[in-house]
A and B are shown apart, each in its own frame.
Chain A
């Protein structure tokens, strides 16, 4: 069954705000991924993390691989309207393991 807990489930933010969401696992992972899904579209890979403590940025997005290897965080800085969508975390415990996905965080940006 699903082992990833993603929070918050949804967030309503104002344009310009910085936001943060996280994902926790019941087991140690060696890879964390973050995806964004726009309405009616498939997920798009944003950031991939491969070792504990790793911090990677993609524009205004920054993701971190938690030190415990059981969590990961995604930050969006200076949010803009096009940040609206569902953000999914995903992870796996070894290089040939299957990915597990979180249930997603719905982000709504208000002007």
Chain B
């Protein structure tokens, strides 16, 4: 098992550019989510999905889009990058969100810098 795989690991964007952060898991997990990590702050939820075709907003969704066409993949799109989106992004997965399912598996992260 590869677990949760994120690409790219590093990215520099210019303000206004768009890009997609990729996330894939091979554990057949229903629940996937995206978090951003900023210095001195806890992880903040951007978007999440409880299964293929179902997505919902988290705590900080503005400026980001997601889709879940398959169980395995959950890409995060930055529509028009802004310096405030400079952060480290983590994708996570687990069997379910409810009851005992938690974001138990995280990817290695994508460090994004917007200049």
Is the Cβ of B45 less than 8 Å from the Cβ of A2? Answer: no
CB distance from B96 to the nearest CB of A (A): 10
A6 proximity list for chain B (CB < 8 A): 42
What chain B residues lie within 8 Å of A104 (beta carbons)?
A: 42
Q: How big is chain B's contact interface, by range?
A: 20 to 34
- Asked if B67 is an interface residue, CB under 8 A from chain A, the answer is no
Q: How far, in whole Å, are A48 and B100 apart by their CA atoms in the complex?
A: 9
Majority secondary structure of chain A interface residues (helix, strand, loop or mixed): loop
Chain B contacts for A102, CB-based, 8 A: 42
Q: How far is the CA of A31 from the CA of B43 in the complex (A)?
A: 17
Contact between B58 and A98, CB atoms less than 8 A apart: yes
Are A99 and B103 in contact, with the CB atoms below 8 A? yes
23 A-B interface contacts by CB (under 8 A) = A2-B41, A6-B42, A41-B108, A42-B92, A42-B106, A42-B108, A42-B109, A44-B106, A45-B102, A45-B103, A45-B105, A88-B43, A96-B97, A98-B45, A98-B48, A98-B58, A98-B59, A99-B102, A99-B103, A101-B42, A103-B40, A103-B42, A104-B42
The 3 A-B pairs with the shortest beta carbon distances in the complex, nearest first, are A101-B42, A42-B106, A101-B43
A31-B102, A42-B107, A104-B42 are known contacts; what are 18 more A-B pairs with Cβ within 8 Å?
Answer: A33-B102, A40-B108, A40-B109, A41-B108, A42-B106, A42-B109, A43-B43, A44-B106, A45-B105, A48-B102, A88-B43, A96-B98, A98-B45, A98-B58, A100-B42, A101-B35, A101-B42, A103-B41
